[in-house]
Amino acid sequence: MPKRNTVQRRHGILSQLSKHGQVQVEELARRFDTSEVTIRKDLATLEQSGLLLRRYGGAIPLPSELMSEPAGTDDGQSPAQQKVSKRKQAIARAAANCIRDHNRIIIDFGSTTAALIPELQSKRGLVVMTNSLNVANAVRELENEPTLLLSGGTWDAHSESFQGQIAEQVLRSYDFDQLFIGCDGIDLERGTTTFNELLGLSRVMAEAAREVIVLAEADKVGRRIPNLELPWSAVNILITDDRLSTEQQTLIEQQGVRVIIAAPDNGE
């Protein structure tokens, strides 16, 4: 699997660094039979984890005075990935199972939608549109190198995303298979709700996609938030966790929405 190969290769890079005191991108690419772009991504991730220091054309060990407890772990996860709850990871895995190779997808800003990015590693030929710089940066780190599109628009510091008419115009010029979007709350009668008053882009995203998939933890069900983001008529699938009650699931399914329950591997 790609993730396992990635972890093994990065361990191998650290082993070469320990043995030789320095490593070169070109040499590592030959040794591990991969591209120089992939090796540079490996070195960037290892540097972010405090395991080496990049320099032009390669890397050297981190100076002893800068050594600290590594931010990464043996499973190859970045610090951002480690902060993602097991429930969000389960939701992300279930969402990835809905994506086929060569799909054209939109990923909205948000921590739950961002958790989907590592799960895309095995997909081929994806086109990913996003209005989030965090999502865009995570997509750029994937070895399968999806085609990345940014919506552009006006930067909204509150949501840390691009919004506004320019972003809406860009979205209207494309056609997508799926939209993956989060929410702040779920109104069992109306649909998804949000604290963000900038609702236009979310609705345009939904219009531009053949299938709208909402990713939300079950504790968001019943939150009283005034801003209706997407009515149930605009939603095809809700992916949530196993805290959703049978009654809540039935009420949502009565709105014509398919509900997928994603149970964490080992609970919280």
Encode pLDDT of 53-98 as tens digits. 887 788 888 755 444 444 333 444 443 444 568 999 999 999 999 9
What percentage of residues in the chain have a pLDDT greater than 90? 59
Smallest CA-to-CA distance from 53 within 39, 38, 43, 42 is with 43
Cα 149 to Cα 91, 99, 180, distances in angstroms: 24, 17, 15
pLDDT in tens, 9-19: 998 999 898 88
Question: Which residue matches tokens 């429930």?
Answer: 87
- The whole-chain average pLDDT of the chain stands at 87
Distance CA 105, CA 180 (A): 8
Q: What's the confidence (pLDDT) of residue 27?
A: 93
In contact, 200 and 168? CB cutoff 8 Å: yes
- The mean pLDDT values, 10 residues at a time, for the chain of 268 residues are 73 89 92 91 81 82 52 40 76 97 96 93 94 90 90 84 92 95 94 85 96 96 88 97 96 98 76
Is residue 134 a contact partner of residue 114, using CB atoms and an 8 Å limit?
A: yes
What pLDDT score does 20 carry?
87
What local confidence, expressed as pLDDT, does residue 3 receive?
56
Dihedral angle, C-alpha 93, 130, 193, 201, nearest 10 °: -160
Length of the chain: 268
Which residues are 162's β-sheet partners? 155
